[in-house]
Structure 1
Amino acid sequence: MNQMTSVTPLGPSAMLKKQAASVEFRNVTKRYGSVTAVDSVSFVIEPGQLVTLLGPSGCGKTTTLRMIAGLEMASAGQILIGGRDVTNLSAADRDVSMVFQSYALFPHMSVLENVAYGPTVQGASKKDAVAMAMEKLSLVGLTGLEKRAPSELSGGQQQRVAVARALVLEPQVLLFDEPLSNLDAKLRRRVREDIRELQQNLNLTVAYVTHDQEEALAVSDRIIVMSNARIAQTGTPRELYEEPADLFVADFIGDANILTGAVVDLAGPQAHVQIDRLRIELPHRGVMKGPVKLAVRPDAIFLDETMAQPNAVSGTVRKASYLGTQIEYEVESPIGELFVVQYGRKEPIAPGTPVAISFALQRGVAIIPGA
C-alpha cells in the first residue's frame, strides 16, 4: 500500500520535519451495481490534521476510507493526495498506510518481524528494515517486546504494533479503520490518547473511521458526519455538538433532547424562542418566525426540586440512575420526556419528585435549521 522511496531510516526529528499531505475528495461517488455506497462526496483533510469519518453502519464511511487507501476505486469524481491526482492509482502507488480493525498481524512472526515486513518487501536490506522497525517500536512504546509473538501481547499492545507497522513506511497519510473496537472501554480511552499524541507529535495527516461519537469528539481536529452515503455535516467537535446542522446530526452526536418551540421575535443575530413557559434567547441560525426544533443537551437542563425558579416548566422525575460521576434522569414534562444528566451530585432526586425545569443558555441549546 505504501511505496517506499528510501531505505534510510528517519528518526523522530526527521519525521517531524516531513511535509504532511492533504487529502481531497471532489464529488467522489462509489457504486456497487445499483447500490450507491458513497454519493458525490467532497471534502478536504488539511495537512497534519486528524479528521474522523463518523456515522452509523452502512453510511459509507469505511468505503470512503478504502477509496483514500486505493483498496476501492472511485466510480466517479477525483481523489487527490498532496495535490496529486491518485484517483486511478493502485494502493501501492499512493504513499498511504492503513491500520485495520482486526490489526491483521502475522501470528507466526515476532513483533519485530511484523513491523519490519513492509520495508523488507519494499526492498530494504534486513539491517535497514530492522533499524526502521526498532525505531518505530520505540516511538509507540514497545521497546523490549520485539521478540514476542502477537498472541503474547495485550489488545492495546497489539494495536500499537499495528500502528508501528503502518508508520514504518513513513506514509504521507495514515488511515485508521475502527482501530479501538476490539478494546475494552478503559483501554480504548488510553489508546485513543496515544494515537492523538503520536499524530500531533509527528505532524501526521490522519483519516480515522469510527461509529463511536465520544471517540470522534475526543481525537479529532474535524469530524465529517456521514448519513446515507452523503455528508450530513463537517466541522470541529464543538461546532457539531453545539451547532448541529439537522435533526440527524443533533441526535447522532451525543445525546440530545429534540424539543419543539416557536420563534416569537428576531433581533439581529438572536431569536427569542418560547418553549411552554420558558422564553429564551438563542442564535437564530437563519430561521424565521414560527415553529422550530431545538436540540437540548442532557447536561444543559437544570432540575430544581425546591420549585423556587420562576417561569420554569414543571415536571416530574420518573427514573434516576446513579453512575458514579453523574446521575441520569428521565423526567416527564409538558415539553416532552426529557433525558437529563447531573454531574457532581451525590444523592439523586427521588423518582416521583416534582421539579422545576430550566435551561443553561450559554451552552447545549441550539435551534436546528430546516427541521
Structure 2
Amino acid sequence: MNTSPTRSGASKKQAASVEFRNVTKRYGGVTAVDSVSFTIEPGKLVTLLGPSGCGKTTTLRMIAGLEMASEGQILIGGRDVTNLSAADRDVSMVFQSYALFPHMSVLENVAYGPSVQGASRKDAEAMAMEKLGLVGLKGLERRAPSELSGGQQQRVAVARALVLEPQVLLFDEPLSNLDAKLRRRVREDIRELQQSLNLTVAYVTHDQEEALAVSDRIIVMSNARIAQSGTPRELYEEPADLFVADFIGDANILGGTITGIEGASAQVKIDTLSLSLPHRGAAPGAVKLAVRPDAILLNETPQPSAIAGHIRKASYLGTQIEYDVETAIGNLFVVQYGRTQPIEIGKAVGVTFETQRGVAIVPGA
C-alpha cells in the first residue's frame, strides 16, 4: 500500500499515530460503525476486540482505506487520510487468510510489493531477505507456501507487510487459522517484533485472551460503538459495564447492596459476606458485581461468614480445576489453580471472595 519503495539499509520510517474523530460507516440503512473516536499512539499495539458484527473489522478496513468513512475524520501521522485510497496510505495489512501467492516462492511473495512499486529485483530481494530474517524464516526463502506450516505461512504474511516499512501495520484476526499451541507462539512473535521495531499496530480479534496477551491498550466494541478503552488490566479489573465484564474473561455477575461509602471505598453486603471495594461512582443501594472465577475461594471447612454452597460439577484441566458451585446467590463458575485433585461432587463448601483483585462494582448496572 506504500507509494514509494524503501531501499534496504535506508533510514527507517518513524512510527505514526492513528486517530479517528467521530467516524461513522454506513451500508445503506445499516450503521456498521457509529461515531467512533480513538487514538493509537506511535509505537503502540492497540487491539480492537469484540463479538462478530460489532464493527471492529470495518474500523480496521477504514484505517487501511479499504472502506471509506461515511462521516468523520481519519488521520495517520497527523495527516488527514479520510478521502485517500488504500494505495495512498502508508499502511500494510496482514489478512486472516494470509493471501500468499501459491505459485511464488517465499522470497518472491515478500519481494512482490517492492517490485510492484519500482524497486529493482536485486533491491526487492535484499529487502525481502532482511525481513525474512527478522521473522525467523531465513533459509526457507526458496520454498513454496504449501511447503510451510501454518505458523510459517503467517510469518511470511507478516514479512510481506513489513517489507514496505509502513507507518502502520494492521492485523485482521491473524491467528484464527492456527491451533491453540501455535497461536500462543505466533502471538508472542508478533508482540516481540512489534516492540523491537517500534511499530504502530492495530490488531483485530474476537479472542479476549489473545487481546490481553499482546496489547498495550484494548478498545472493546459492541453494537458499532466503543464500550470501553483501556489497558488489559483496567478492562479486566475495572469493567465499565456488564457487557465488558462478561466479554473480557469470564465473570460471575452477582447482586449486592452498598450499605455505606467512606472516601473511595464502599461497604458491600452480598448474602453473608461484607466486602470493602472501590465504589467507582456507585451510590448506596443495589449494585451489580463482576467476580472473576479465580477470585472465588472455596473452603472445605465451615466458616460462619462464608456463603454456603456445594459442588455440582468439577472438571480437571491440567493446570486448573473448574467448578460449578451451587449457592444461595446462584450458580458460580470457579477456577482453582495449583490443585491436583478436585473437591468431590456434592461436598459442602464455604464461598468467600479475594477482594484484592478480581471483584469489582460495575458502574450503572
State the TM bucket, normalised to the shorter chain: over 0.9
SS class of match (2:132): helix
Deviation at 1:9, TM superposition (A): 1.1
One-letter amino acid of the structure 1 residue matched with residue 246 of structure 2: D
Partner of 1:354: 348
Deviation at 1:275, TM superposition (A): 0.1
Within-5 A mapping of 1:291-370: 291-307=286-302, 309-370=303-364
SS class of match (1:293): strand
Any conservation in 2 of the 1:136–1:168 contact (CA below 8 Å)?
yes
CA distance in 1, matches of 2:342, 2:129: 53
2:187 maps to 1:201: no
- Which of these residues, 257, 268, 271, is aligned with residue 273 of structure 1? 268
SS class of match (1:19): coil
Deviation at 1:335, TM superposition (A): 1.0
SS class of match (1:208): strand
Partner of 1:262: 257
Aligned-residue RMSD, C-alpha: 0.8
2:27 maps to 1:8: no
Deviation at 1:10, TM superposition (A): 3.4
Alignment deviations for residues 319-370 of structure 1 (CA, whole Å, 9 cap, x no partner): 0000000000000001111000000011100110000000001000000000
SS class of match (2:308): strand
CA distance in 1, matches of 2:9, 2:354: 51
Give TM-score, length-normalised by structure 2. Answer: 0.99
One-letter amino acid of the structure 1 residue matched with residue 3 of structure 2: Q
SS class of match (2:246): helix
CA distance in 2, matches of 1:316, 1:262: 24
- Which of these residues, 225, 230, 235, is aligned with residue 235 of structure 1? 230
CA distance in 2, matches of 1:324, 1:53: 31
Any conservation in 2 of the 1:7–1:128 contact (CA below 8 Å)?
no
CA distance in 2, matches of 1:194, 1:2: 24
Partner of 2:212: 217
2:29 maps to 1:34: yes
Partner of 2:53: 58
Partner of 2:177: 182
2:158 maps to 1:159: no
CA distance in 1, matches of 2:165, 2:269: 56
CA distance in 1, matches of 2:87, 2:304: 66
Any conservation in 1 of the 2:6–2:165 contact (CA below 8 Å)?
no
One-letter amino acid of the structure 2 residue matched with residue 326 of structure 1: Q
Any conservation in 2 of the 1:7–1:129 contact (CA below 8 Å)?
no
Any conservation in 2 of the 1:316–1:333 contact (CA below 8 Å)?
yes
**Structure 1 runs not aligned, ≥5 long:** none
Deviation at 1:7, TM superposition (A): 3.9
Alignment deviations for residues 235-278 of structure 1 (CA, whole Å, 9 cap, x no partner): 00000000000000000000000000000000000000000000
Any conservation in 1 of the 2:17–2:200 contact (CA below 8 Å)?
yes
One-letter amino acid of the structure 2 residue matched with residue 76 of structure 1: E
Point out 4+ residue stretches in structure 1 off by more than 2 angstroms. none
CA distance in 2, matches of 1:36, 1:365: 35
Give TM-score, length-normalised by structure 1. Answer: 0.97
CA distance in 2, matches of 1:3, 1:256: 47
SS class of match (1:337): strand
Any conservation in 2 of the 1:23–1:79 contact (CA below 8 Å)?
yes
Q: Percent of aligned positions with the same letter in both sequences?
A: 82
Deviation at 1:2, TM superposition (A): 2.0
CA distance in 2, matches of 1:7, 1:345: 54
SS class of match (1:203): coil
Alignment deviations for residues 35-66 of structure 1 (CA, whole Å, 9 cap, x no partner): 00000000000000000000000000000000
**Structure 2 runs not aligned, ≥5 long:** none
Any conservation in 1 of the 2:6–2:164 contact (CA below 8 Å)?
no
